[in-house]
């Protein structure tokens, strides 16, 4: 079946519907949801029962890049800086040095067992060198794994921030494969420019985005998430235009925004959570459609060998050497090395050699696809079991309850107070978003001129207002009173 304008919406909506319906019950049997999306795409493809002919790596790459924008941005918005700060160094080392060591060790192994050139081998190693943010975020959160001693934020920070390094290595070694007359050190300036400009752009666009979101006055609350989407794509494309790493820029930008006071922040977060899931489904379905299962069969032996080496040797080498200067228990290092999930990102990166037209592009793509599937299937289904074996999981009865999560879920509060705003109060003529309220307290309603109404982040406090403040603790109310100078 060929996809046409007339049937693309019907086919797409049916695939989405099937993916969502089948995805939830499948997880009860230990099958990762993302793998289900991929299989559905393959079944709908030209060699499956759907018979949909799709063989356009360029379109697949475009869909992949757009999807990664949403997935990385959503992951960045959900990153709590206070949680990440204690393990920032470990996470950054894993996402840079760890990725580099994984790529080099796996590339060396591929070079030793195949007829690949050294640069082609390093290209394959680079493509699968990073852990997949979509896979790690979705599996850890779907399983609700409670891990000891900052282990979970370490894993989420690494997976959210290591794709830029893998992207730079992939483009660098692809350039060396195409231009074999260039030396290895010729990629150093490219690397420095990509990472340096990406980091600076992420910080700069983060601060600019906050200013735009909080200063611009939109008539409809639903337009604020649309505004953030525009700012996200501007950050990515502008950074890429000047030669920086757009993936790194949008992740840093999102982390910054996620830890600031923004107008309609809850609406923005909820929308991005849904969009991230939509993009994951679309991405895996698209990549499933792109794959021809018959083309993978000849490379199963090589793919399995490379996959086993990646899981048992290359990933642990990258983790253990990267963390050698940090104090960390051995079982925690083992678990970090096990959560080296490969997913859609390596498959997206594998489309770059296809579009470049290098000799072994098809072979690389099929091997990478097999590695991603086996990684999600083997590692993704055993995260909980391995966590218990290594004693890094918190027992069910001891799982911490995050009061902020309960608060955001709109559970009943334990403290409420009406606060009268005087003309000398600090809050007068300030927007609510500018007050920097405690995270566990909100202004539920405002009484003004005898009428009650629900405010939002852009609402200005006026003299003689009465604020109805809710908090989950009395301490939260005390902080609000102190903040307002009452």
Q: Domain residues of the chain, as ranges?
A: 8-398, 403-484
- Average pLDDT value for residue range 27-32: 53
Which carries the bigger pLDDT value, residue 120 or residue 53?
Answer: 120
Q: Which residues of 232-253 are buried (b: 16+ CB within 10 A; e: fewer)?
A: bbbbbeebbeeebbbbbbbbbb
Instruction: Residue 262: count other Cβ atoms within 10 Å of its Cβ.
Output: 21
- Closest to 368 measured CA to CA, from 129, 179, 180, 203: 129
Q: Is the pLDDT of residue 275 over 80?
A: yes
Q: What is the 3-state secondary structure (H, E, C) of 76-105?
A: HHCCCHHHHHHHHHHHHHHHHHHHHHHHHH
CATH topology of domain 8-398: Na+/H+ antiporter like fold (1.20.1530)
Q: Is the pLDDT of residue 141 over 70?
A: no
Q: Is the pLDDT of residue 31 over 80?
A: no
Which carries the bigger pLDDT value, residue 397 or residue 128?
Answer: 128
pTM of the model: 0.78
pLDDT band at 412 (very low <50, low <70, confident <90, very high): very low
Q: Is the pLDDT of residue 309 over 90?
A: yes
For residue 41, the model assigns a pLDDT of 83
Between 3.30.70.1450, 3.40.50.300, 3.30.559.10, 1.10.620.20, what CATH number should domain 403-484 receive? 3.30.70.1450
Dist CA 241 CA 245 (whole Å): 9
Q: Is the pLDDT of residue 466 over 90?
A: no
Contact 225, 272 (CB under 8 A): yes
- Closest to 386 measured CA to CA, from 338, 320, 330, 342: 338
For residue 140, the model assigns a pLDDT of 64
Q: Is the pLDDT of residue 292 over 50?
A: yes
pLDDT tens per residue, range 59-83: 889 998 999 899 889 888 888 888 8
For residue 254, the model assigns a pLDDT of 94
SS3 2: strand
SS3 444: strand
pLDDT band at 437 (very low <50, low <70, confident <90, very high): confident
Which carries the bigger pLDDT value, residue 309 or residue 4?
Answer: 309
């Amino acid at each position: 079946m060929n996809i046409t304008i007339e049937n693309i919406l019907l086919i797409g909506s049916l695939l989405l519907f099937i993916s969502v319906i089948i995805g939830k019950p499948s997880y009860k049997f230990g099958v990762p949801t993302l793998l289900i999306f991929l299989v559905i795409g393959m079944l709908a493809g030209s060699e499956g029962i759907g018979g949909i002919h799709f063989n356009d790596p360029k379109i697949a790459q475009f869909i992949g890049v757009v999807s990664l924008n949403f997935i990385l941005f959503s992951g960045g918005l959900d990153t709590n800086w206070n949680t990440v700060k204690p393990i920032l160094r470990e996470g950054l080392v894993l996402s840079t040095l760890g990725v580099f060591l994984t790529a080099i060790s796996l590339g060396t192994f591929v070079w030793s067992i195949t007829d690949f050139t050294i640069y082609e081998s390093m290209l394959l190693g680079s493509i699968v060198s990073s852990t997949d943010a979509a896979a790690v975020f979705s599996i850890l959160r779907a399983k609700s794994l409670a891990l000891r001693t900052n282990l979970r934020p370490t894993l989420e920070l690494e997976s959210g921030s290591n794709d830029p390094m893998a992207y730079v290595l992939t483009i660098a070694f692809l350039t060396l494969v195409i231009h074999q007359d260039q030396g290895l050190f010729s990629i150093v300036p490219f690397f420095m420019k990509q990472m340096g400009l990406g980091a600076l752009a992420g910080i700069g666009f983060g601060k600019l985005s906050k200013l735009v979101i909080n200063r611009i006055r939109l008539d409809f609350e639903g337009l604020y998430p649309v505004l953030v989407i525009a700012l996200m794509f501007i950050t990515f494309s502008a950074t890429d235009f000047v030669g920086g790493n757009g993936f790194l820029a949008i992740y840093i930008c999102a982390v910054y925004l996620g830890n600031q006071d923004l107008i309609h922040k809850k609406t923005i977060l909820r929308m991005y959570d849904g969009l991230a899931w939509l993009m994951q489904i679309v991405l895996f379905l698209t990549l499933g459609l792109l794959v021809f299962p018959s083309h993978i069969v000849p490379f199963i032996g090589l793919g399995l060998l490379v996959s086993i080496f990646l899981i048992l040797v290359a990933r642990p080498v990258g983790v253990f050497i990267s963390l050698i200067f940090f104090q960390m228990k051995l079982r925690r290092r083992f678990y970090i090395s096990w959560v080296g999930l490969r997913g859609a990102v390596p498959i997206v990166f594998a489309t770059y050699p296809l579009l470049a037209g290098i000799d072994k592009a098809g072979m690389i793509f099929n091997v990478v696809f097999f590695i991603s599937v086996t990684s999600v299937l083997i590692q993704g289904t055993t995260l909980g079991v391995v966590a218990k074996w290594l004693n890094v999981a918190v027992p069910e009865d001891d799982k911490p309850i995050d009061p902020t999560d309960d608060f955001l879920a709109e559970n009943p509060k334990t403290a409420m107070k009406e606060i009268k705003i005087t003309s000398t109060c600090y809050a007068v003529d300030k927007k609510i978003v500018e007050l920097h309220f405690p995270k566990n307290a909100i202004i539920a309603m405002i009484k003004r001129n005898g009428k009650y109404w629900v405010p939002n982040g852009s609402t200005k406090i006026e003299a003689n207002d009465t604020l109805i403040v809710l908090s989950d603790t009395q301490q939260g109310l005390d902080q609000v009173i102190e903040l307002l100078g009452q």
